[in-house]
Amino acid sequence: MITAALVGVFGVAGALLRFAVDSWFAHHSSIRSVRRAGHVALHWPWATLVVNVMGCFIIGLAHGLTGRLGLGAEWQAGLATGLAGGLTTFSSWTTATIRLLSEARFGAAALNVSVNLGLGFAAAAAGIALAA
């Protein structure tokens, strides 16, 4: 019962944090878009990248801290499944990549995939190392 409660509470916190990050980027459209010749603004999924990297860091940190601090598996589930799960988004990342491909921005799509994976792995490793 405690695990479900922690996942729920942290899940709400993660979703609200995701909403805050999305809102911040939406209100800073110059960061959200890439300008090209002819003054056409092209979308780049910055908010998705930020929340996914943050989530990977949180999961790495939760993995390291729960063992080090002697917290039970329910806390790891709350932080990893709840907080990071509510914060991160595989579906938005996939949709953004498909959108870049549909715009024939193949390099940008490949960059989106590689940067999300590379920074995600690095953030998870940093979280684990920081907790050690």
| Dihedral pair phi/psi, residue 42, rounded to 5° | -105, 135
Q: Are 47 and 88 in contact (CB under 8 A)?
A: no
d(CA 82, CA 9): 7
User: How do residues 16-62 score in pLDDT, each as one tens digit?
Assistant: 999 999 999 988 866 555 555 555 567 789 999 999 999 999 999 99
User: How do residues 69-98 score in pLDDT, each as one tens digit?
Assistant: 888 899 999 999 999 999 999 999 999 999
Going from the C-alpha of 78 to that of each of 13, 22, 57, 83, the distances in angstroms are 11, 22, 15, 7
pLDDT at 85: 96
pTM: 0.87
pLDDT at 43: 78
DSSP 132: -
